[in-house]
Structure 1
Amino acid sequence: MPRTHATHHITIVGGGFAGLTAAITAAEAGAKVTVYEAHHTLGGRARTAEGPYKTNEGPHALYKGGPHWTWLKQRGLLGELAPLPPLEAARLRLRHKGTLRRTPPFAMLKLLRRTPEQAPIETDFKTWATAIAGEEAANTAANYSAVAIFHHNPGALSAAFVQERLRRATKLPPEAHYPRGGWASVIDRMAARAWNLGVRVETLARVDTIPDDHGPVIIATSLDAARTLLKDDSLTWPSGRTALLDLAVRTLPRARLLPHSRLRSSGGTPMIGGTSTGDAFAVSDLDAPGWIERFTAQDRTLAPTNEQLIQGQIPIAPHESHADGIARAEELLDLGFPAWRDRITYRNEALANGRTGAVDHPGTSWRDRPRVDRGDDVYLAGDQVAAPGVLSEVSFNSALEAVTLALGIRSRAGLDLKHA
């Protein structure tokens, strides 16, 4: 007999992006909802640090082409987006063979023109891409895709998985957008909508067990936390491991003359007639996976006046150390940010292990990840479960699917997982 969702009480464990998406969706469908969040604030990995430097947990972007974009926009939850000035967009730099360039290698462009349907699931990206454009183009494209994958060896992953993210990351006009004030601004609006819909939110409330007489429960935590909570060792899926670097530096005036010795001590920054070329907007590494971005290029509210906020996320292999990743980040800084060591006002480093979303190896796709429906009215939502999409889209899609199953809704507008 179909459930009458209007009378249900749904429990959601986790108040991040997935948990709030599920809470709003369930409340809009008429269910009573309680959210339990172990932290003192909502947001999960979408939290933005408080204080003068508004950093996210690693670089964050909101992809316009995803289903969550429409959902957020329809509810007035997107808020103001930070536009990227044309001058800053022109300062995107690519490291190739140890030097900076403005455009990708020509052979790499062959791969960017191909659709994700043409890339096979069963073959690794490097093998597939090498057959099309050669080994060098395959390597550079795989390394560039790290901006949307955060894996130390994207070439070893499923060709279909990598190519879809490469296509989205290089699409023109760019799909990546940035909520003004950081991701916390979106979370704050989502939380306000949830409260207005009558959702009960309890923070500093860690859930260790699920009672035997529970109603529908949506576990919207990391997969590691869900595995512990549900005592289910099958809840595993590969993810990335990354070194995170947050850096604030004093703004370098354009065309400022700097002493040659200072520049050389900071890595030999390129000069034009003895004058600094200015800070890059972003430096993408084509020699190895890695990405450094100056987030104040599009949003000046993220750092104090006359300072620039830079964030980097460098994938590292299991045998590499956090220091190895930071060293590679500093190499990119040397290339794209003149005399950055002399300008530092804030620095923070971290190691993120298994916190960058799912990666699919050859022969697997999102359908093979841990399923949303765990049986006995328990459902999963998050970025490593069986739902399609790129980055936060997986959390969003799985949250909607979890609510659909929990409330017995037979149809849902705006998303069809069977054909995604």
Structure 2
Amino acid sequence: MVHIHVVGGGLAGLTAAITAAESGARTTLYEGHRSLGGRARTAEGPYRANEGPHALYRHGPHAAWLARRGLLGPLVPVPPRDGLRFRFHRAGALRRLPPPALLRLVRRAPHTAPVDDRFLDWAAGRVGAEGARAAAHFAATALFHHDPGALSARFVQERLHRLGSLPPEARYPVGGWGTLVERLAAHARGLGVAVETATRVDARTLGELARTGPVIVATSLAAARALLDDASLAWESGRTVLVDLAVRTRRGDAFVVSDLDAPGWLERFTAQDPGLAPAGEQLLQGQFPIGPDMRRAEGVARAEDLLDLGFPGWRERTTWRGGALAEGRTGAVDRPGTTWRDRPSVVRGDGIFLAGDQVAAPGLLSEVSFTSGLEAAMLAVKAAGQHSGSGAGSRRG
């Protein structure tokens, strides 16, 4: 039996390993950290924070794939009562309603937006410059990019349309994304996948693995570039300050504060899942994209300004605080004239396949990792069959 190797135990790697094992292939998954999950890990302890805001979108392929295997687990939607506490920062003040121009753009079908134009230019021609800027900044929650208006109009509109759908598409795994990773890992092991954690694969080891069967590299694009010594493995991503905060509960706190004056987002995740923080406390998470020349402190300052508006007295109420600067770890963005098809190909040659959130695969947020992992595994299984068949033919001859 030809062996399929999967390097990387995040969502892409777990999806690939499960798909390969379901085909009957002997499969081993290698993860450099002691725990699986990649950027889908959930922190241990009383504050169950993810690495940035996470949600599953019910119209996406990932949710359906998980549901068919009984892996979806309990999900919670945006609570109706807390949904009314959605606030928009516009012209320096918090408002209960978004500008009508933003709503008009949200309703437009993605295929009406051109691939070759900047989103800001295309949107301004339909709702005016002010509405276009607000829409670009609102879409930043799914882009993690400091200048969404400069990206491909089609790319941004696809995300804006799904983010603004009613009822909301977003669903949240109870207990954080770590619970979803646990179910995926248990299912993989149940299918016979050998899972090796705390095992780093270098170029030499990769070559040895490739001699026994196809290899799926399901790491970050930067890690894949170094591992495969392939300078072509590059694509633009965002640079984002991630903010984690626990505060004592206060009546009237916002559920979400969306910054329409600049890309920024704050969300109270305990509104839908109170178990993410101790009783009497609320877990807030946010993202504030910054430009390539900006310092992390500038993103933190923007976050604190938004906290002052949406969560009065948050400094005195804070019980825990964390955060990070995510550089190139938040998925691919497409410039005008490019689509997901132009990103690094899943097929790398010589039995090597690529998966991850910056690979040539469609989808919103984590759906790109899922879709590329699925495709890489199916191609690896096919390649393994061809390899096995040719070997058998040689023996018969």
Match of 2:193 among 196, 199, 217: 199
How far residue 110 of structure 1 moved from its aligned partner, in angstroms, is 2.0
Work out whether residues 78 and 170 of structure 2, in 8 Å CA contact, stay in contact via their aligned partners in 1: no
How far residue 82 of structure 1 moved from its aligned partner, in angstroms, is 2.4
- TM-score, normalised to structure 2, is 0.94
1:144 maps to 2:138: yes
Tell me the distance in 2 between the aligned counterparts of 1:313 and 1:77. Answer: 28
1:125 maps to 2:119: yes
1:323 maps to 2:317: no
For residues 229-268 of structure 1, the aligned pairs below 5 Å read: 229-252=227-250, 254=251
User: Residue in 2 aligned with 1:8?
Assistant: 2
User: Residue in 1 aligned with 2:278?
Assistant: 304
Q: Which amino acid in structure 2 is aligned with residue 293 of structure 1?
A: E
Match of 1:167 among 161, 173, 189: 161
Work out whether residues 2 and 212 of structure 2, in 8 Å CA contact, stay in contact via their aligned partners in 1: no
User: Residue in 2 aligned with 1:363?
Assistant: 337
User: Residue in 1 aligned with 2:21?
Assistant: 27
What percent of counterpart residues are identical? Answer: 65
- TM-score, normalised to structure 1, is 0.89
Tell me the distance in 1 between the aligned counterparts of 2:70 and 2:222. Answer: 32
Match of 1:332 among 306, 315, 330: 306
Work out whether residues 8 and 407 of structure 1, in 8 Å CA contact, stay in contact via their aligned partners in 2: no
Q: Please state whether the residue corresponding to 1:326 is helix, strand or coil.
A: helix
Tell me the distance in 1 between the aligned counterparts of 2:207 and 2:157. Answer: 43
User: Residue in 1 aligned with 2:218?
Assistant: 220
User: Residue in 1 aligned with 2:57?
Assistant: 63
Question: Any runs of at least 4 consecutive aligned residues in structure 1 with deviations exceeding 3 A, and if so which?
Answer: none
User: Residue in 1 aligned with 2:351?
Assistant: 377
How far residue 113 of structure 1 moved from its aligned partner, in angstroms, is 1.7
How far residue 83 of structure 1 moved from its aligned partner, in angstroms, is 3.7
User: Residue in 1 aligned with 2:395?
Assistant: none
How far residue 407 of structure 1 moved from its aligned partner, in angstroms, is 1.4
Match of 2:99 among 98, 105, 111: 105
Q: Please state whether the residue corresponding to 1:177 is helix, strand or coil.
A: strand
Q: Which amino acid in structure 2 is aligned with residue 286 of structure 1?
A: L
User: Residue in 1 aligned with 2:43?
Assistant: 49
Tell me the distance in 1 between the aligned counterparts of 2:264 and 2:207. Answer: 44
Deviations 1:225-253 (A, max 9, x none): 0000000011000000000110000111x
Tell me the distance in 2 between the aligned counterparts of 1:306 and 1:282. Answer: 19
How far residue 355 of structure 1 moved from its aligned partner, in angstroms, is 0.6
Q: Please state whether the residue corresponding to 1:211 is helix, strand or coil.
A: helix
Deviations 1:202-245 (A, max 9, x none): 00000012125241000000000000000001100000000011
The answer to which structure has the higher helix fraction is 2
Q: Please state whether the residue corresponding to 2:207 is helix, strand or coil.
A: coil
Match of 2:323 among 328, 345, 349: 349
Work out whether residues 53 and 285 of structure 2, in 8 Å CA contact, stay in contact via their aligned partners in 1: yes
Tell me the distance in 1 between the aligned counterparts of 2:287 and 2:129. Answer: 25
Q: Please state whether the residue corresponding to 2:353 is helix, strand or coil.
A: strand
Tell me the distance in 1 between the aligned counterparts of 2:166 and 2:187. Answer: 32
Q: Please state whether the residue corresponding to 1:249 is helix, strand or coil.
A: strand
User: Residue in 1 aligned with 2:287?
Assistant: 313
Q: Which amino acid in structure 2 is aligned with residue 374 of structure 1?
A: R
How far residue 404 of structure 1 moved from its aligned partner, in angstroms, is 1.4
How far residue 406 of structure 1 moved from its aligned partner, in angstroms, is 1.0
Give ranges in structure 1 of 5+ residues lacking alignment: 1-6, 255-277, 410-420
Deviations 1:345-386 (A, max 9, x none): 000121110111000000000000000000000000000000
Q: Please state whether the residue corresponding to 2:238 is helix, strand or coil.
A: strand
Tell me the distance in 2 between the aligned counterparts of 1:84 and 1:130. Answer: 30
Tell me the distance in 2 between the aligned counterparts of 1:251 and 1:83. Answer: 21
Tell me the distance in 1 between the aligned counterparts of 2:314 and 2:31. Answer: 39
Q: Which amino acid in structure 2 is aligned with residue 19 of structure 1?
A: G
1:282 maps to 2:259: no
Q: Please state whether the residue corresponding to 1:142 is helix, strand or coil.
A: helix
Deviations 1:253-277 (A, max 9, x none): x3xxxxxxxxxxxxxxxxxxxxxxx
User: Residue in 2 aligned with 1:17?
Assistant: 11
Deviations 1:306-363 (A, max 9, x none): 0000001110001111000011111111111021111000001211101110000000
Match of 1:391 among 337, 356, 365: 365
Match of 1:179 among 163, 173, 178: 173
User: Residue in 2 aligned with 1:211?
Assistant: 207
Tell me the distance in 2 between the aligned counterparts of 1:8 and 1:174. Answer: 44
Q: Which amino acid in structure 1 is aligned with residue 152 of structure 2?
A: S
Deviations 1:289-313 (A, max 9, x none): 0000000000011000100000011
How far residue 92 of structure 1 moved from its aligned partner, in angstroms, is 0.6
How far residue 109 of structure 1 moved from its aligned partner, in angstroms, is 2.0
Q: Please state whether the residue corresponding to 2:329 is helix, strand or coil.
A: strand
How far residue 58 of structure 1 moved from its aligned partner, in angstroms, is 0.7
Tell me the distance in 2 between the aligned counterparts of 1:163 and 1:84. Answer: 22
Tell me the distance in 2 between the aligned counterparts of 1:363 and 1:211. Answer: 36
Q: Which amino acid in structure 2 is aligned with residue 180 of structure 1?
A: V
Q: Please state whether the residue corresponding to 1:408 is helix, strand or coil.
A: helix
